[in-house]
Structure 1
Amino acid sequence: MGVPHVPVFPKLVAEGDHDVRSRYEAVRAVLERTEPDLLVVIANDHLNAFFLDRLPTFSIGIGELMSGPMDDVPGLTAAPLPTDTGAARALAEFLVRDDYDLVLCQEIDVDHSVIVPLHFLNHKGVPVVVVNINAYVAPLPSAQRCHELGRSLGTAVEALAGDRRVAVVASGSFSQEVGGPRVDAGRAWSVPRPDWAGRIAELLTRGDIESLLAESTPGMLRDAGTVAGEVLSWITMIGAAGPAGANLSPRLDHRSGEAFAFGTWEER
Protein backbone atom coordinates (compact mmCIF):
# COMPACT_ATOMS: atom_id res chain seq x y z
CA MET A 1 0.00 0.00 0.00
CA GLY A 2 1.00 3.61 -0.41
CA VAL A 3 -0.01 6.85 1.31
CA PRO A 4 1.14 10.48 1.51
CA HIS A 5 2.94 11.82 4.58
CA VAL A 6 1.77 15.45 4.65
CA PRO A 7 2.87 16.60 8.15
CA VAL A 8 -0.26 18.65 8.84
CA PHE A 9 -2.66 15.74 8.20
CA PRO A 10 -2.72 14.44 11.83
CA LYS A 11 -3.65 17.91 13.07
CA LEU A 12 -6.34 18.34 10.39
CA VAL A 13 -7.90 14.99 11.26
CA ALA A 14 -7.80 15.78 14.98
CA GLU A 15 -9.67 19.00 14.19
CA GLY A 16 -12.38 17.12 12.32
CA ASP A 17 -11.24 16.62 8.73
CA HIS A 18 -13.35 13.56 7.92
CA ASP A 19 -12.23 13.39 4.30
CA VAL A 20 -8.55 12.84 5.09
CA ARG A 21 -9.51 10.49 7.92
CA SER A 22 -11.71 8.35 5.69
CA ARG A 23 -9.03 8.03 3.01
CA TYR A 24 -6.44 6.78 5.47
CA GLU A 25 -9.03 4.53 7.13
CA ALA A 26 -9.77 2.86 3.80
CA VAL A 27 -6.09 1.89 3.55
CA ARG A 28 -5.94 0.84 7.20
CA ALA A 29 -8.94 -1.44 6.72
CA VAL A 30 -7.06 -3.34 4.02
CA LEU A 31 -3.95 -3.48 6.18
CA GLU A 32 -5.76 -4.81 9.22
CA ARG A 33 -7.62 -7.46 7.20
CA THR A 34 -4.24 -8.95 6.27
CA GLU A 35 -3.26 -9.16 9.97
CA PRO A 36 0.45 -8.39 9.41
CA ASP A 37 3.02 -9.07 12.09
CA LEU A 38 5.64 -6.84 10.42
CA LEU A 39 5.48 -3.54 8.53
CA VAL A 40 8.23 -2.55 6.12
CA VAL A 41 7.92 1.20 5.55
CA ILE A 42 9.71 2.63 2.51
CA ALA A 43 10.18 6.34 3.14
CA ASN A 44 12.33 9.38 2.39
CA ASP A 45 14.14 11.21 5.17
CA HIS A 46 13.82 14.99 4.67
CA LEU A 47 17.46 15.77 5.59
CA ASN A 48 16.64 15.23 9.26
CA ALA A 49 18.23 11.91 10.19
CA PHE A 50 20.82 12.46 7.45
CA PHE A 51 22.27 15.62 5.93
CA LEU A 52 24.46 16.69 3.03
CA ASP A 53 27.67 15.68 4.79
CA ARG A 54 26.51 12.03 5.03
CA LEU A 55 23.64 11.25 2.69
CA PRO A 56 23.00 7.58 1.87
CA THR A 57 21.16 6.60 -1.28
CA PHE A 58 19.61 3.63 0.55
CA SER A 59 19.54 2.89 4.28
CA ILE A 60 17.80 0.54 6.70
CA GLY A 61 17.29 0.70 10.46
CA ILE A 62 18.52 -2.49 12.12
CA GLY A 63 18.84 -1.52 15.80
CA GLU A 64 16.44 -1.63 18.72
CA LEU A 65 16.32 2.16 19.14
CA MET A 66 14.04 4.00 16.73
CA SER A 67 11.78 6.91 17.56
CA GLY A 68 10.01 9.82 15.95
CA PRO A 69 8.97 12.22 14.73
CA MET A 70 12.26 14.06 15.01
CA ASP A 71 10.82 17.03 13.13
CA ASP A 72 7.78 19.24 13.65
CA VAL A 73 4.52 17.35 13.12
CA PRO A 74 1.68 19.39 14.63
CA GLY A 75 -0.20 17.37 17.21
CA LEU A 76 2.37 14.57 17.53
CA THR A 77 5.24 14.15 19.98
CA ALA A 78 8.27 11.91 19.66
CA ALA A 79 7.92 8.36 20.94
CA PRO A 80 9.72 5.02 20.51
CA LEU A 81 8.64 2.80 17.63
CA PRO A 82 8.13 -0.95 17.93
CA THR A 83 10.96 -2.74 16.12
CA ASP A 84 11.94 -6.25 15.05
CA THR A 85 15.71 -6.27 14.95
CA GLY A 86 15.90 -9.90 13.86
CA ALA A 87 13.79 -9.26 10.79
CA ALA A 88 15.57 -5.98 10.04
CA ARG A 89 19.01 -7.59 10.19
CA ALA A 90 17.88 -10.52 8.07
CA LEU A 91 16.51 -8.18 5.41
CA ALA A 92 19.68 -6.09 5.49
CA GLU A 93 21.92 -9.13 5.17
CA PHE A 94 19.92 -10.43 2.20
CA LEU A 95 19.94 -7.07 0.42
CA VAL A 96 23.68 -6.53 0.91
CA ARG A 97 24.39 -10.04 -0.37
CA ASP A 98 22.25 -9.15 -3.37
CA ASP A 99 24.57 -6.18 -4.11
CA TYR A 100 22.54 -3.34 -2.57
CA ASP A 101 24.94 -1.32 -0.46
CA LEU A 102 22.64 0.03 2.24
CA VAL A 103 23.78 2.11 5.17
CA LEU A 104 22.98 0.04 8.28
CA CYS A 105 21.63 2.26 11.07
CA GLN A 106 21.99 0.89 14.59
CA GLU A 107 20.15 3.87 16.07
CA ILE A 108 17.95 6.20 14.07
CA ASP A 109 15.26 8.77 14.62
CA VAL A 110 12.72 9.09 11.84
CA ASP A 111 10.76 12.07 10.59
CA HIS A 112 7.21 12.62 9.36
CA SER A 113 7.76 10.49 6.26
CA VAL A 114 7.53 7.47 8.57
CA ILE A 115 5.49 8.72 11.50
CA VAL A 116 2.51 10.19 9.63
CA PRO A 117 1.70 6.91 7.84
CA LEU A 118 2.18 4.93 11.06
CA HIS A 119 -0.01 7.38 13.01
CA PHE A 120 -2.93 6.56 10.73
CA LEU A 121 -2.21 2.93 9.84
CA ASN A 122 -0.46 1.21 12.75
CA HIS A 123 -3.00 1.44 15.56
CA LYS A 124 -2.07 -2.08 16.72
CA GLY A 125 1.63 -1.34 17.23
CA VAL A 126 2.96 -3.84 14.69
CA PRO A 127 6.80 -3.91 14.64
CA VAL A 128 8.36 -1.73 11.95
CA VAL A 129 11.40 -1.90 9.68
CA VAL A 130 12.26 1.37 7.92
CA VAL A 131 14.00 1.58 4.56
CA ASN A 132 14.97 5.11 3.48
CA ILE A 133 15.56 6.18 -0.12
CA ASN A 134 17.17 9.47 -1.06
CA ALA A 135 14.41 11.32 -2.91
CA TYR A 136 15.57 14.93 -2.66
CA VAL A 137 19.27 15.51 -3.33
CA ALA A 138 20.75 14.76 -6.76
CA PRO A 139 21.87 12.31 -7.87
CA LEU A 140 18.75 10.30 -7.06
CA PRO A 141 18.71 6.57 -7.64
CA SER A 142 17.03 5.65 -10.90
CA ALA A 143 13.46 4.38 -11.02
CA GLN A 144 14.76 1.11 -12.45
CA ARG A 145 17.26 0.70 -9.61
CA CYS A 146 14.56 1.34 -7.00
CA HIS A 147 12.25 -1.15 -8.66
CA GLU A 148 15.03 -3.74 -8.63
CA LEU A 149 15.70 -2.96 -4.96
CA GLY A 150 12.02 -3.62 -4.33
CA ARG A 151 12.22 -6.95 -6.14
CA SER A 152 15.15 -7.94 -3.95
CA LEU A 153 13.31 -6.73 -0.85
CA GLY A 154 10.30 -8.85 -1.77
CA THR A 155 12.50 -11.92 -2.10
CA ALA A 156 14.17 -11.07 1.22
CA VAL A 157 10.76 -10.87 2.89
CA GLU A 158 9.82 -14.29 1.51
CA ALA A 159 13.08 -15.69 2.91
CA LEU A 160 12.43 -14.49 6.48
CA ALA A 161 12.35 -17.26 9.04
CA GLY A 162 9.00 -18.30 10.45
CA ASP A 163 5.45 -17.94 9.23
CA ARG A 164 5.24 -14.17 8.82
CA ARG A 165 2.68 -11.87 7.31
CA VAL A 166 4.50 -8.77 6.07
CA ALA A 167 2.98 -5.56 4.71
CA VAL A 168 5.05 -3.16 2.61
CA VAL A 169 4.00 0.49 2.87
CA ALA A 170 5.25 3.24 0.53
CA SER A 171 5.26 6.80 1.85
CA GLY A 172 5.32 9.91 -0.34
CA SER A 173 3.76 12.19 -2.94
CA PHE A 174 4.14 12.40 -6.73
CA SER A 175 4.39 16.09 -7.64
CA GLN A 176 5.14 18.69 -5.02
CA GLU A 177 7.30 21.78 -4.61
CA VAL A 178 8.45 22.52 -1.06
CA GLY A 179 10.94 25.29 -0.35
CA GLY A 180 11.53 25.98 -4.04
CA PRO A 181 10.88 28.85 -6.46
CA ARG A 182 7.53 27.45 -7.65
CA VAL A 183 5.82 27.44 -4.25
CA ASP A 184 2.41 29.08 -4.45
CA ALA A 185 2.17 32.58 -2.98
CA GLY A 186 1.03 32.51 0.62
CA ARG A 187 1.63 28.75 1.01
CA ALA A 188 4.56 26.49 1.84
CA TRP A 189 4.05 24.16 -1.12
CA SER A 190 2.56 23.75 -4.58
CA VAL A 191 1.77 21.04 -7.14
CA PRO A 192 3.82 21.97 -10.24
CA ARG A 193 2.73 19.00 -12.36
CA PRO A 194 -0.71 17.73 -11.36
CA ASP A 195 -0.86 16.01 -14.74
CA TRP A 196 2.19 13.92 -13.77
CA ALA A 197 0.61 12.94 -10.45
CA GLY A 198 -2.47 11.85 -12.37
CA ARG A 199 -0.32 9.95 -14.84
CA ILE A 200 1.36 8.00 -12.03
CA ALA A 201 -2.02 7.09 -10.54
CA GLU A 202 -3.22 5.99 -13.98
CA LEU A 203 -0.17 3.80 -14.62
CA LEU A 204 -0.33 2.23 -11.17
CA THR A 205 -4.02 1.48 -11.60
CA ARG A 206 -3.38 -0.13 -15.00
CA GLY A 207 -0.37 -2.01 -13.68
CA ASP A 208 1.78 -0.52 -16.43
CA ILE A 209 4.98 -0.48 -14.40
CA GLU A 210 7.18 -0.60 -17.48
CA SER A 211 5.86 2.79 -18.60
CA LEU A 212 6.13 4.18 -15.08
CA LEU A 213 9.81 3.25 -14.92
CA ALA A 214 10.51 4.62 -18.39
CA GLU A 215 8.75 7.93 -17.72
CA SER A 216 10.13 8.53 -14.20
CA THR A 217 13.32 10.12 -15.52
CA PRO A 218 15.53 12.49 -13.51
CA GLY A 219 14.30 15.36 -15.71
CA MET A 220 10.67 14.48 -15.13
CA LEU A 221 11.13 14.27 -11.38
CA ARG A 222 12.92 17.64 -11.32
CA ASP A 223 10.09 19.20 -13.30
CA ALA A 224 7.47 17.69 -11.00
CA GLY A 225 8.81 19.48 -7.91
CA THR A 226 11.52 19.51 -5.28
CA VAL A 227 10.11 16.47 -3.49
CA ALA A 228 8.70 14.61 -6.52
CA GLY A 229 11.38 11.96 -6.04
CA GLU A 230 9.14 10.50 -3.33
CA VAL A 231 7.51 8.43 -6.07
CA LEU A 232 10.63 6.24 -5.83
CA SER A 233 9.21 4.82 -2.59
CA TRP A 234 6.10 3.69 -4.48
CA ILE A 235 8.20 2.25 -7.28
CA THR A 236 10.22 0.27 -4.72
CA MET A 237 7.05 -0.97 -3.05
CA ILE A 238 5.64 -2.13 -6.41
CA GLY A 239 8.89 -3.99 -7.04
CA ALA A 240 8.51 -5.80 -3.72
CA ALA A 241 5.27 -7.37 -4.98
CA GLY A 242 7.36 -9.13 -7.64
CA PRO A 243 5.63 -11.79 -9.73
CA ALA A 244 2.88 -11.96 -7.11
CA GLY A 245 1.88 -8.47 -8.20
CA ALA A 246 0.15 -10.01 -11.20
CA ASN A 247 -2.40 -11.46 -8.77
CA LEU A 248 -3.05 -8.18 -7.01
CA SER A 249 -5.82 -5.72 -7.76
CA PRO A 250 -4.78 -2.05 -7.33
CA ARG A 251 -7.09 0.63 -6.01
CA LEU A 252 -5.82 4.21 -6.29
CA ASP A 253 -7.67 7.06 -4.60
CA HIS A 254 -6.35 10.08 -6.50
CA ARG A 255 -8.23 13.29 -7.27
CA SER A 256 -7.46 15.67 -10.08
CA GLY A 257 -4.99 18.34 -9.00
CA GLU A 258 -3.68 16.47 -5.97
CA ALA A 259 0.00 15.80 -5.35
CA PHE A 260 -0.59 12.34 -3.90
CA ALA A 261 -2.73 9.23 -3.81
CA PHE A 262 -3.89 6.60 -1.35
CA GLY A 263 -3.29 3.14 -2.79
CA THR A 264 -3.86 -0.49 -1.88
CA TRP A 265 -3.11 -3.75 -3.66
CA GLU A 266 -5.27 -6.74 -2.67
CA GLU A 267 -5.53 -10.30 -3.91
CA ARG A 268 -7.96 -10.61 -6.81
Structure 2
Amino acid sequence: MFMKMGLDSFEGFNLVALRFGIAFILAGALFYKRLIQMNFKTFFYGFILGTLLFLVMSTVTFGLNFTSVSNAGFLFSLSVVFVPMLLALFFKIKPEKKVIFGVGIALLGIALLTLNHHLTINSGDYLIILGAIFYATQIIFTDKFTKNVDSITLGILQLGVAGVWGLVFSFLFEEPHLPSTTEAWVSIMALSVLCSAIGFIGQAVAQKHTTPTHTGLIFSLEPVFAALFAFLFIGEILPAKGYVGAILIMLGVLIAQFKFKKPLLGKKFNQSVEGSKVLH
Protein backbone atom coordinates (compact mmCIF):
# COMPACT_ATOMS: atom_id res chain seq x y z
CA MET A 1 0.00 0.00 0.00
CA PHE A 2 2.74 2.48 1.00
CA MET A 3 4.77 1.46 -2.05
CA LYS A 4 1.86 2.26 -4.33
CA MET A 5 1.39 5.62 -2.56
CA GLY A 6 5.09 6.37 -3.02
CA LEU A 7 4.97 5.63 -6.74
CA ASP A 8 2.36 8.38 -7.13
CA SER A 9 5.03 10.92 -6.11
CA PHE A 10 8.38 9.41 -7.12
CA GLU A 11 10.04 7.49 -9.90
CA GLY A 12 11.28 4.00 -9.11
CA PHE A 13 14.96 4.51 -8.29
CA ASN A 14 14.22 7.79 -6.49
CA LEU A 15 11.78 5.93 -4.24
CA VAL A 16 14.32 3.17 -3.51
CA ALA A 17 17.04 5.74 -2.73
CA LEU A 18 14.87 7.73 -0.31
CA ARG A 19 13.35 4.67 1.34
CA PHE A 20 16.62 2.94 2.16
CA GLY A 21 18.69 6.09 2.56
CA ILE A 22 16.45 7.44 5.32
CA ALA A 23 16.20 3.99 6.92
CA PHE A 24 20.01 3.72 7.00
CA ILE A 25 20.46 7.20 8.51
CA LEU A 26 17.90 6.57 11.27
CA ALA A 27 19.14 3.07 12.12
CA GLY A 28 22.79 4.12 11.81
CA ALA A 29 22.27 7.00 14.25
CA LEU A 30 20.73 4.58 16.75
CA PHE A 31 23.42 1.88 16.44
CA TYR A 32 26.42 3.98 15.37
CA LYS A 33 28.75 2.22 17.86
CA ARG A 34 28.17 -1.10 16.08
CA LEU A 35 28.91 0.48 12.69
CA ILE A 36 32.20 1.94 13.97
CA GLN A 37 33.34 -1.55 15.05
CA MET A 38 32.42 -3.12 11.69
CA ASN A 39 35.06 -5.35 10.04
CA PHE A 40 35.68 -6.04 6.34
CA LYS A 41 33.75 -9.33 6.38
CA THR A 42 30.64 -7.55 7.65
CA PHE A 43 31.04 -4.83 5.02
CA PHE A 44 31.44 -7.43 2.25
CA TYR A 45 28.39 -9.40 3.39
CA GLY A 46 26.40 -6.17 3.73
CA PHE A 47 27.38 -5.14 0.21
CA ILE A 48 26.08 -8.44 -1.21
CA LEU A 49 22.81 -8.31 0.76
CA GLY A 50 22.31 -4.62 -0.03
CA THR A 51 22.81 -5.25 -3.74
CA LEU A 52 20.30 -8.10 -3.64
CA LEU A 53 17.89 -5.88 -1.72
CA PHE A 54 18.26 -3.18 -4.37
CA LEU A 55 17.52 -5.73 -7.11
CA VAL A 56 14.45 -6.95 -5.20
CA MET A 57 12.98 -3.51 -4.68
CA SER A 58 13.86 -2.20 -8.14
CA THR A 59 12.18 -5.09 -9.95
CA VAL A 60 9.12 -4.93 -7.70
CA THR A 61 8.87 -1.13 -7.88
CA PHE A 62 8.98 -1.06 -11.68
CA GLY A 63 6.82 -4.17 -11.94
CA LEU A 64 4.05 -2.43 -9.99
CA ASN A 65 3.82 0.14 -12.78
CA PHE A 66 2.84 -2.55 -15.28
CA THR A 67 0.62 -4.94 -13.33
CA SER A 68 -2.23 -4.99 -10.84
CA VAL A 69 -1.77 -4.91 -7.07
CA SER A 70 -3.43 -8.33 -6.76
CA ASN A 71 -1.07 -9.91 -9.30
CA ALA A 72 1.96 -8.31 -7.65
CA GLY A 73 0.91 -9.41 -4.16
CA PHE A 74 0.49 -13.03 -5.20
CA LEU A 75 3.51 -13.32 -7.49
CA PHE A 76 5.94 -11.71 -5.03
CA SER A 77 4.72 -14.08 -2.33
CA LEU A 78 5.97 -16.93 -4.53
CA SER A 79 9.28 -16.35 -2.73
CA VAL A 80 7.84 -18.73 -0.13
CA VAL A 81 8.11 -21.44 -2.81
CA PHE A 82 11.40 -20.28 -4.34
CA VAL A 83 13.29 -20.48 -1.01
CA PRO A 84 12.98 -24.28 -0.55
CA MET A 85 13.42 -24.77 -4.32
CA LEU A 86 16.72 -22.85 -4.37
CA LEU A 87 17.92 -24.58 -1.19
CA ALA A 88 17.24 -27.99 -2.74
CA LEU A 89 18.76 -27.03 -6.10
CA PHE A 90 21.98 -25.33 -4.99
CA PHE A 91 22.55 -26.52 -1.40
CA LYS A 92 20.97 -30.02 -1.58
CA ILE A 93 18.80 -29.21 1.45
CA LYS A 94 15.47 -31.00 1.20
CA PRO A 95 12.55 -29.42 3.09
CA GLU A 96 10.63 -31.42 5.70
CA LYS A 97 7.26 -32.83 4.69
CA LYS A 98 5.46 -30.54 7.16
CA VAL A 99 7.20 -27.54 5.55
CA ILE A 100 6.11 -28.60 2.06
CA PHE A 101 2.56 -29.02 3.34
CA GLY A 102 2.69 -25.66 5.14
CA VAL A 103 4.00 -23.92 2.01
CA GLY A 104 1.17 -25.42 -0.05
CA ILE A 105 -1.48 -24.29 2.43
CA ALA A 106 0.05 -20.79 2.64
CA LEU A 107 0.24 -20.52 -1.15
CA LEU A 108 -3.44 -21.42 -1.47
CA GLY A 109 -4.24 -18.78 1.14
CA ILE A 110 -2.17 -16.17 -0.69
CA ALA A 111 -4.07 -16.93 -3.90
CA LEU A 112 -7.45 -16.54 -2.17
CA LEU A 113 -6.37 -13.33 -0.44
CA THR A 114 -4.72 -11.54 -3.35
CA LEU A 115 -6.17 -12.82 -6.63
CA ASN A 116 -9.48 -11.96 -8.25
CA HIS A 117 -11.37 -13.60 -11.10
CA HIS A 118 -9.95 -11.07 -13.58
CA LEU A 119 -6.41 -12.46 -13.35
CA THR A 120 -4.42 -11.63 -16.49
CA ILE A 121 -0.72 -11.88 -17.33
CA ASN A 122 0.90 -8.43 -17.61
CA SER A 123 4.43 -7.42 -18.60
CA GLY A 124 5.12 -6.31 -15.03
CA ASP A 125 4.37 -9.82 -13.73
CA TYR A 126 7.71 -11.10 -15.03
CA LEU A 127 9.54 -8.38 -13.09
CA ILE A 128 7.61 -9.28 -9.92
CA ILE A 129 8.53 -12.97 -10.33
CA LEU A 130 12.18 -11.98 -10.85
CA GLY A 131 11.93 -9.87 -7.68
CA ALA A 132 10.56 -12.88 -5.78
CA ILE A 133 13.55 -14.97 -6.93
CA PHE A 134 15.96 -12.21 -5.84
CA TYR A 135 14.18 -12.02 -2.49
CA ALA A 136 14.38 -15.78 -1.96
CA THR A 137 18.12 -15.52 -2.70
CA GLN A 138 18.45 -12.63 -0.25
CA ILE A 139 16.74 -14.69 2.48
CA ILE A 140 19.12 -17.62 1.90
CA PHE A 141 22.25 -15.43 1.90
CA THR A 142 21.05 -13.61 5.03
CA ASP A 143 20.79 -16.98 6.77
CA LYS A 144 24.37 -17.86 5.79
CA PHE A 145 25.87 -14.47 6.67
CA THR A 146 24.18 -13.83 10.03
CA LYS A 147 25.85 -16.94 11.46
CA ASN A 148 29.28 -15.27 11.13
CA VAL A 149 28.83 -11.53 11.84
CA ASP A 150 26.77 -9.13 13.95
CA SER A 151 23.25 -9.31 12.53
CA ILE A 152 22.19 -5.77 13.51
CA THR A 153 25.23 -4.22 11.82
CA LEU A 154 24.63 -6.40 8.77
CA GLY A 155 20.97 -5.39 8.64
CA ILE A 156 21.81 -1.68 8.82
CA LEU A 157 24.60 -1.90 6.26
CA GLN A 158 22.42 -3.56 3.61
CA LEU A 159 20.00 -0.61 3.87
CA GLY A 160 22.81 1.84 3.14
CA VAL A 161 24.09 -0.16 0.15
CA ALA A 162 20.59 -0.45 -1.33
CA GLY A 163 20.10 3.30 -0.83
CA VAL A 164 23.38 4.16 -2.57
CA TRP A 165 22.52 1.96 -5.56
CA GLY A 166 19.13 3.65 -5.76
CA LEU A 167 20.72 7.11 -5.62
CA VAL A 168 23.26 6.28 -8.36
CA PHE A 169 20.61 4.91 -10.73
CA SER A 170 18.24 7.76 -9.91
CA PHE A 171 20.86 10.35 -10.94
CA LEU A 172 21.66 8.36 -14.08
CA PHE A 173 18.12 7.76 -15.35
CA GLU A 174 15.75 10.07 -13.43
CA GLU A 175 15.46 13.51 -11.87
CA PRO A 176 15.63 12.79 -8.11
CA HIS A 177 13.77 15.03 -5.68
CA LEU A 178 12.61 15.11 -2.06
CA PRO A 179 8.98 14.69 -0.92
CA SER A 180 6.90 17.83 -1.48
CA THR A 181 3.51 16.81 -0.04
CA THR A 182 2.28 15.40 3.26
CA GLU A 183 1.13 12.20 1.56
CA ALA A 184 4.57 11.74 -0.02
CA TRP A 185 6.30 12.20 3.34
CA VAL A 186 3.90 9.74 5.02
CA SER A 187 4.56 7.06 2.40
CA ILE A 188 8.35 7.57 2.50
CA MET A 189 8.58 7.54 6.31
CA ALA A 190 6.32 4.48 6.56
CA LEU A 191 8.44 2.66 3.98
CA SER A 192 11.67 3.80 5.67
CA VAL A 193 10.82 3.09 9.31
CA LEU A 194 8.26 0.28 9.28
CA CYS A 195 9.03 -1.61 6.09
CA SER A 196 12.80 -1.08 5.86
CA ALA A 197 14.54 -0.23 9.15
CA ILE A 198 12.37 -2.41 11.38
CA GLY A 199 11.52 -4.98 8.71
CA PHE A 200 14.92 -5.82 7.24
CA ILE A 201 17.03 -5.34 10.38
CA GLY A 202 14.49 -7.47 12.23
CA GLN A 203 14.78 -10.09 9.50
CA ALA A 204 18.57 -10.23 9.85
CA VAL A 205 18.32 -10.64 13.63
CA ALA A 206 15.54 -13.24 13.45
CA GLN A 207 17.32 -15.35 10.84
CA LYS A 208 20.00 -16.21 13.39
CA HIS A 209 17.38 -18.38 15.07
CA THR A 210 15.36 -19.91 12.23
CA THR A 211 15.72 -21.49 8.79
CA PRO A 212 15.40 -19.69 5.43
CA THR A 213 12.28 -21.70 4.54
CA HIS A 214 10.58 -20.74 7.80
CA THR A 215 11.56 -17.11 7.17
CA GLY A 216 9.95 -17.24 3.73
CA LEU A 217 6.79 -18.69 5.27
CA ILE A 218 6.65 -15.98 7.91
CA PHE A 219 7.00 -13.33 5.20
CA SER A 220 4.05 -14.92 3.41
CA LEU A 221 2.02 -13.17 6.12
CA GLU A 222 2.78 -9.87 4.33
CA PRO A 223 -0.49 -9.88 2.33
CA VAL A 224 -2.40 -10.40 5.59
CA PHE A 225 -0.84 -7.31 7.16
CA ALA A 226 -1.27 -5.39 3.90
CA ALA A 227 -5.00 -6.16 4.02
CA LEU A 228 -5.11 -5.11 7.68
CA PHE A 229 -3.40 -1.77 6.97
CA ALA A 230 -5.66 -1.21 3.96
CA PHE A 231 -8.67 -1.67 6.25
CA LEU A 232 -7.29 0.61 8.98
CA PHE A 233 -6.09 3.45 6.73
CA ILE A 234 -8.41 3.46 3.74
CA GLY A 235 -11.38 1.39 4.94
CA GLU A 236 -10.90 -1.40 2.39
CA ILE A 237 -12.94 -4.47 3.35
CA LEU A 238 -11.96 -8.00 2.34
CA PRO A 239 -14.40 -10.33 0.58
CA ALA A 240 -15.24 -13.63 2.29
CA LYS A 241 -12.58 -15.56 0.36
CA GLY A 242 -10.00 -13.02 1.56
CA TYR A 243 -10.66 -13.93 5.19
CA VAL A 244 -10.41 -17.64 4.32
CA GLY A 245 -7.11 -16.92 2.58
CA ALA A 246 -5.73 -15.05 5.59
CA ILE A 247 -6.64 -17.95 7.88
CA LEU A 248 -5.00 -20.47 5.52
CA ILE A 249 -1.78 -18.42 5.39
CA MET A 250 -1.56 -18.32 9.18
CA LEU A 251 -2.40 -22.04 9.33
CA GLY A 252 0.35 -22.85 6.82
CA VAL A 253 2.91 -20.91 8.86
CA LEU A 254 1.85 -22.69 12.07
CA ILE A 255 1.99 -26.14 10.43
CA ALA A 256 5.54 -25.53 9.20
CA GLN A 257 6.69 -24.22 12.60
CA PHE A 258 4.93 -26.77 14.82
CA LYS A 259 6.98 -29.69 16.14
CA PHE A 260 4.81 -32.76 15.69
CA LYS A 261 5.27 -35.60 18.16
CA LYS A 262 3.93 -39.14 18.10
CA PRO A 263 0.65 -39.15 20.03
CA LEU A 264 0.73 -40.91 23.35
CA LEU A 265 -2.76 -42.20 22.61
CA GLY A 266 -1.35 -44.82 20.27
CA LYS A 267 0.82 -46.42 22.97
CA LYS A 268 -2.00 -46.46 25.50
CA PHE A 269 -4.34 -47.95 22.94
CA ASN A 270 -1.85 -50.73 22.13
CA GLN A 271 -1.35 -51.47 25.84
CA SER A 272 -5.10 -51.71 26.41
CA VAL A 273 -5.44 -54.07 23.43
CA GLU A 274 -2.63 -56.28 24.73
CA GLY A 275 -4.23 -56.28 28.19
CA SER A 276 -7.57 -57.33 26.80
CA LYS A 277 -5.88 -60.23 24.97
CA VAL A 278 -4.32 -61.45 28.26
CA LEU A 279 -7.71 -61.34 30.00
CA HIS A 280 -9.24 -63.42 27.26
TM-score, length-scaled by structure 2: 0.28
Bigger radius of gyration among the two: 2
Larger RCO (CA under 8 A, 6+ residues apart): 2
Pick the structure with more helix per residue. Answer: 2
Structure with bigger strand share is 1
Could you state the TM-score of these two structures normalised by the residue count of structure 1?
0.29
